Structures are given as structure tokens and as C-alpha cells.
Amino acid sequence: MDRQAQKRMPVYEALKKFKKMRIVPFDVPGHKRGRGNKALLDFLGEKCLSVDVNSMKPLDNLCHPVSVIKEAEELAADAFGAEHAFFMVGGTTSAVQTMILTACKRGDKIILPRNVHRSAINAMILCGAVPIYINPQMDKQLGISLGMSVDDVKKAIKENPDAKAVLVNNPTYYGICSNLSEIIKVAHEHNMLVLADEAHGTHFYFNHRLPQAAIHAGADMAAVSMHKSGGSLTQSSFLLIGKNVKAGYVHQIINLTQTTSGSYLLMSSLDISRSNLAVYGSEIFDFVIDLVGYARHEINNIGDYYAYADEKINGDSVYDFDITKLAIYTLPIGLAGIEVYDILRDEYDIQAEFGDIGNLLAYVSVGDRAKDIERLVSALAEIRRNYKKDHKGMLEAEYISPKVICAPQDAFYSDKESLPLDESCGRVCSEFVMCYPPGIPILAPGELITPEILEYIHYAKDKGCSMTGPEDMEIKRLNVIKE
């Protein structure tokens, strides 16, 4: 990587030059640099709205980049060590879907862990790919799903030699990494592409103290959420391509679903943030690692809470651990993670990333300060002191192995009927049910509705988890395949 060249920000520089040109806009957007929408201008400011512009020759075009966007994508590829990088303005959801739509056509098999984000299953609904799920191993203490065992991947490949690709989470929401290098080696030996969902792994590319990044390990494609640990605006991501994939074909796939009106606010934020990480990323993530290490130590000293880290590494299903993740096990104080999440927000004005049945995730980045950590630690200590209760009878498992009856596309587009939640047991679901965040389905189209799953849904609702997915917004009914 050429660090001097990485100081360039072609999209940002083109926008700065454009602002000085004082062009009279007879094109979209209709707010005309904010003049036509005073309320929006007062809220977002002239600096923002003056660069919320349409594609034009001086600014290039995201659908067919030939100048400044093309140069910015080349700089991004160099920064991440990829053959090519694409600006994605539909979030990492669109990048994950592009990977699967590139690798698979209708009827093609793809091997993947079941604890994937809903975007991966959505992609299979769109293209008709057939999932070969590897049920992740579990941490019995924490009740969370881990990474994919290499032996389980080998078994899936042996049983499905015609599969087109293997998808890996690098890392999971909880910071857990699989043995990426070995999985890539085995998949490539069987002529399968390796796709990495790195929504939570942007920082892996820029600090040697962190787990191996997918493209560095030889993955064929990786979806990277720059707006998470990379510092760009929400909804902006990169899709990284390795040498075994044709970038031109990937671009055609992207253009099937991505907007033709790419936001220059999002693209400039990608450009600026890429430069920042390439030049200063090592120091940035050293700071984050040390800050999280301090937070973890202080939280574990409170008592009962367990902020876990790389001591969980077992060489296989937890091959490595992202030590920037501040994940906290809360059940010993008698509260679900979502209950602690709600108390932090409602009583302490602290917004955590998410809470689920047994865990809380506080997302820490370069934008945090030591005093913010102190406030979080103090709040957690007070919550323990004021709310601690007996944890007997609390549900512990975060992950339930699904029984897949048919492909997601077949189920989603099938004739269906709506049933009361408790009457749906034993039927095949035709929609999603999930807690969001993190957006990993409890039920996906094509899966059997079991008593265990229904118990989990009721429990999660009672504890205050934000349930999403079904047509019925109140989750009192589920759509199932008509018999």
C-alpha cells in the first residue's frame, strides 16, 4: 500500500472543486442545494446540502465510473489489499447480496453458517440458491453461537461437492472468528468461492493485533461495513474482490439492485474514511483495543458481569477473537441483555449497540473517550446494585438449530396462510422472524416452526427484544406454507 497516495481523496476533492464552480442547478435533486427546503437546510446545513448532488461529468457516475469514483475505488482496493473495490451505497446488505448473486444461480448450493445476517438469506430468495447450513457450535456458558468448525465445513463440502461457494462470518456479532485460512484452502481445493461477511471486520485490515482479514487470507469476495468501525456515514460500505472473480461481472450484478442515484454524501464519506484508515488506521485501532481492554477489566471487576475476550479461543470454532468487541454476559445479575440495554438507555442516557437474551454489546470506536467508558462502567455497577435478582428460570440459549424443509425462495413465494403464533407449530414458515439488531433470523422462510422456537419468540418479546420480519408487525400471527 502506498501511504502517500492514500492521502488522496478523489471524490472529496472533486466535490470541493465543484462547490467553487457556482454552477446553477437545473438538475435533481429538487431542493437545489437546500434553497428549496429551508427546514432541511436549517437541520442539515449548507455544507451538507451543497454536495447532495446528482451524477455529472466532473463528478463521475457510480453505475459506470470512469474518473474520480474509479480512482477512489482503485485507492480503496490498494488500501485493503484487494484486486478491486466497489463503493456500495446500500449498506453491507447490498454487498452481501451481490456476493451471493455473483456466486450462485437458481438451484446452486451455497455452504454457510445458519447464524448469518438476514441479507444472506434474502439473497437466496432473490436468486433461488439452496442453503447448506452448518449449525455453529455453541458456548454453553454464554449461550451464543460460535464460528464454523473446519471439520464441519469439510463434511459439508464432502457431502455437497457441487456447491458453488462457502460463506463465512468474519467475525460474528460477538467478535468470534473461524479458521479462515483453512476454510479458504479447503474450499479452493474443491473449486468453491469463499465469500466473507465482514460487516464487523473493517478494522482487521489495518492493525496487526487483530484477526486476519478475509482478502488477506485469500477470500474471493468480502463485504465490509465502513460505516461501523471504519467511520463513514451510515449505509456506506465496500465490496472487495479477489483475483478469482471477474470485477466486470460483479459490477453488472451490483447494477441490478443498486440505485442509479448514488449519494455523494455517502461516497465522499467512504473516500475520506478510507484515506483516514489507510494513513492512520494502525494508531486508531491501537487506541480502540486499549480502550476496550480497560473497559473489559473494569466491568469484570464489578462482579457477576462477564466481559469476554480472547480467553475464549479454542483453535477451531473460536479460532480468533476481535478484542475491540465489548460483549458482556449479563445473566448472572438476573437480567437479560436486552433488559440491561433498555435500562442503560432509559435511565442513564447510554445507547448500547444491542442487547439479546443473555448478552449486551457496547460498540467502542475511535470516537469514544475514557470518560465515556467510566460512565458506562458506573451505570453497569449501579444496575447490578439496584436490579440484581435470582437468575433461575431464565432462558439461556441464543441459537436454535433450524430444521430446513425447503429452499428460502420456494417458501417465500409459495401459497401461504396466516395463523395465530401458537397455532403455527409444526408448520413451515414462509417469512422471517428475528431480533434486530443483530438481524440473525430465529426463523427463516422454509424452516419448521417448533415448540422450542415459539418459546424463544415469546420469551424474547416478553423481555423487550425488538422483533422484526413478519407481515404482522405485532408478531401475533405467522405466515406459513399452505398445506
Q: Which residues, 6+ apart, have CB-to-CB distance to 53 below 8 Å?
A: 15, 18, 25, 29, 59, 264
Cα gap 187→217, rounded to integer Å: 13
Q: Does domain 62-273 have CATH number 1.10.10.10?
A: no
Q: In the chain, which residues fall in CATH 3.40.640.10? A: 62-273
Q: Which residues, 6+ apart, have CB-to-CB distance to 327 below 8 Å?
A: 174, 175, 307, 308, 359, 360, 361
Backbone torsions φ then ψ of 186, nearest 5 degrees = -65, -45
Measuring CA to CA, which residue among 171, 173, 172, 165 is closest to residue 194? 165
Q: In the chain, which residues fall in CATH 3.90.100.10? A: 408-481
Single pTM value for the model: 0.94
Q: Which amino acid is at 393?
A: G
Q: Which amino acid is at 27?
A: D
Residue 398 has a pLDDT of: 65
Residue 318 has a pLDDT of: 97
Coil/strand/helix, residue 402: coil
Cα gap 245→46, rounded to integer Å: 41
Residue 148 has a pLDDT of: 95
Q: In the chain, which residues fall in CATH 3.90.1150.10? A: 281-387
Q: Give the chain's length.
A: 483
Side-chain half-sphere CA neighbours of 82 within 13 A = 28
Report yes or no: 15 and 266 within 8 Å, Cβ to Cβ.
no
Backbone torsions φ then ψ of 112, nearest 5 degrees = -160, 155
**Superfamily of the domain at 281-387:** Aspartate Aminotransferase, domain 1 (3.90.1150.10)
Coil/strand/helix, residue 74: helix
Cα gap 94→146, rounded to integer Å: 24
Cα gap 350→21, rounded to integer Å: 43
Report yes or no: 131 and 404 within 8 Å, Cβ to Cβ.
yes
**Superfamily of the domain at 408-481:** Orn/Lys/Arg decarboxylase, C-terminal domain (3.90.100.10)
Helix axis angle for 10-20 and 68-80, nearest 10°, is: 150
Residue 392 has a pLDDT of: 80
Q: What residues of the chain score a pLDDT lower than 70?
A: 397-398
Residue 1 has a pLDDT of: 82
